[in-house]
Structure 1
Amino acid sequence: MELRPLALKALCEPDLEQKLALAQALQAQAATLLIVPETMLPAPAELPGRPAQPELIEPKRVPQRSVQSPEGRAGLIHAICHIEFNAINLALDAVWRFADMPEDFYRDWLRVAAEEAHHFSLLHTHLQTQLGHRYGDFPAHDGLWTMCAKTAHDITARMALVPRTLEARGLDATPLIQAKLRGVGTPDALAACDILDIILRDEVGHVAIGNRWYAWLCARQGLEPVAHYRHLVRHYAAPRLRAPFNTEARRRAGFSEAELAALIAGD
């Protein structure tokens, strides 16, 4: 069996549990799956496959809730669940969409998809057992997938603006979220912090994969990574990243000192 068409099938799957199972099964079978990098697969009319809920609304319409209330904590965990669900789709999309890459590229993003599915499962179980809600109970926005669609034709832009920009924001935001939850101090809030520890550890590796392939692509094309990143941010109207930055985690994820200096300077 060939990996990339199977990744596309998982991406197109609308049933939540089936998508999770497919992503994790593909990773379990990774060593036995054939990879044909040169294959150009036709894009389906609609991507990604997803359940009917949550309702997708504009980011500015997503309600802000205090973590001091159980409902507010449920809303927060739901929002992180939604990020992880999108991250599964983003990783699967990278596997099927981009041809003519080294085999390690496809195996890297397949591993990311499986780990994101694990993160989603941890959060969703917590949301159900600790907070009495399910994925789909709150509205959400589609910012991550919007950038995925914008960069569908440009693999260098995809690596620059999804894993190492939008997903890297999680490296900065997670410790702040954990501090708020520890301040609440309830058993569900502290249990959520433990889950976020797992996610933060794995996300350092995911951002590192984005950094690795962005650097590889820039080297192949003779591009200077920091200057080209500035160009891509402007061209695709990517969000401006704001302090505070988790520079220690970003270093572990492979950001160079030049990149960190440009980030801190707002350049």
Structure 2
Amino acid sequence: MPTIAQAIRAALLEPDPRAKAFAARAVARDFAAGRLSFVFDVPMPDAPGRPETPVLLPPSQMPKRGKGGSERGRIALWHALAHIEFVAIDLALDMAGRFGAERGPGFVADFLSVAADEAMHFALLARKLRSLGSHYGALPAHSGLWDAARETAHDVAARLAVVPMVLEARGLDVTPATLERVRAAGDENGARILERILDDEIRHVRVGATHFTAICAERGESAENLWKMLVRRHFGGAVKPPFNDSARLSAGLSRDWYAGVA
């Protein structure tokens, strides 16, 4: 029987976007069906496989998207969202593969489920790009999204604090406004895609917050205090308002968590 670590590593190293999305969903299905042994016999790679395109640029060198109502602006928006979801596949896979041995099967199952969701989101966004006459890889993309994984590879609490509880939580804040702009422009298909992503991301943040709180209880630490310390230490940016307080609360993050670091 193949091991869970082998399957996750293979999915992480897959460079082709479509194949990676299929692989992530297959790993989640196979683990749930008992077709992968709970053995961590290979290490996770330092960096995941990437396609030749999109060209990855530092944030300061990313071109402006253009006006939201223009064809160029619409394509740039959906391309940026597709890239976020593509990298999110790897972030969830790496979470399960890097920390699963210490955290157990429930942790692995949770983050493989997240990876499968992100793969589905990417597939929806890639199809959206094709409907606009473009494709994933047609534009440059942000190079820094994997930095959070590299910075927190040593500590599961730090990874949980930064990836689901900061980066994904930021999606809860910004997606509703994007969704309304898309719907106001008459793109109901795009609005439904964003609604699905928002609903799933609330669950993803809740998964991260639940596991983080459990780790803090094991360590005898205050969850809110440790989160604030880890974010200050390992997150390179700012935790910026405005916040979607209702979505964050649904995901297990009360305002007491993030008000002190905003």
What's the TM-score bracket when you normalise by the shorter of the two chains?
over 0.9
Match of 1:102 in 2: 104
Listed one character per residue, the Cα deviations across residues 238-259 of structure 1 (whole Å, up to 9, x for unaligned) are 322222211111111111x3xx
Say which SS state the counterpart of residue 54 (structure 1) adopts.
coil
Could you say what secondary structure the match of 1:243 adopts? coil
Aligned mates of 2:7, 2:165 — CA distance in 1: 25
CA distance in 2, matches of 1:115, 1:223: 31
Superposed CA deviations along residues 102-153 of structure 1, whole A, max 9, x for unmatched, are 2100000111111110000011101101x11100111111322111111011
Q: Which residue is equivalent to 2:114?
A: 112
Q: Amino acid of the residue matched to residue 259 of structure 2?
A: I
> Contact 1:81–1:123 (CA<8 Å) still a contact in 2?
yes
Instruction: Give the structure 2 partner of residue 79 of structure 1.
Output: 80
Q: Distance between the aligned counterparts of 1:77 and 1:17, measured in 2?
A: 16
Q: Which residue of 2 aligns with 1:54?
A: 54
For 1:166, the equivalent position in structure 2 comes to: 167
Q: How does 1:100-249 map to 2 (within 5 A)?
A: 100-129=102-131, 131-185=132-186, 189-249=187-247
Task: Please give the secondary structure, in 1, of the residue aligned with 2:102.
Answer: coil
Any gaps of 5 or more consecutive residues in structure 2?
A: none
Specify the code of the residue in structure 2 equivalent to 1:232: L
Shift of 1:180: 1.9
| CA-CA distance at 1:262 after TM superposition | 4.5
Residues 157-192 of structure 1, C-alpha deviations (whole Å, 9 max, x = no match)? 00000011011100001001112223322xxx3321
Equivalent position amino acid for 1:196 in 2: L
Question: 1:24 is matched with which residue?
Answer: 25
Task: Please state how far the C-alpha of 1:266 moved relative to its aligned partner.
Answer: 4.2
The Cα shift of 1:63 comes to 2.2
- Give the Å deviation of 1:43: 4.0
2-structure distance, mates of 1:41, 1:224: 33
Partner secondary structure for residue 142 of structure 2: coil
Shift of residue 237 of structure 1? 3.7
The equivalent of 1:33 in structure 2 is: 35
1:52 Cα deviation from its structure 2 partner? 0.8
Higher deviation after alignment, 119-128 or 216-225: 216-225
Aligned-partner Cα distance in 1 for 2:257–2:152 = 23
Q: Using the alignment, how far apart are the partners of 2:213 and 2:37 within structure 1?
A: 22
Question: 1:17/1:120 Cα in 2 relative to 1: closer, same or farther (>3 Å)?
Answer: same
CA–CA distance in structure 2, aligned partners of residues 8 and 82 of structure 1: 20
Does structure 2 retain, via aligned residues, the 8 Å contact 1:35–1:103?
no
Cα RMSD (Å):
1.6
Contact 2:117 2:200 in 1 (8 A): yes
**How many residues end up aligned between the 2 structures?**
258
Aligned sequence identity (%): 41
SS of aligned partner of 1:21: helix
C-alpha distance in 2, partners of 1:119/1:173? 16
**Alpha-carbon contact 1:41-1:97 (below 8 Å) kept:** no
Distance 2:74 2:240 in 1: 24
Distance 1:157 1:225 in 2: 12
Letter in 1 for 2:138: D
Q: Given that residues 159 and 214 in structure 1 are in contact (C-alpha distance below 8 angstroms), is that contact kept between their aligned partners in structure 2?
A: yes
Is residue 144–residue 166 contact of structure 1 (8 Å, CA) maintained in 2?
no
Within 2, Cα distance between the matches of 1:128 and 1:202?
A: 23
Contact 2:228 2:261 in 1 (8 A): no
**SS state at 2:91 partner:** helix
| 1:64-84: CA deviation from partner (whole Å, max 9, x where unpaired) | 322110110110000000000
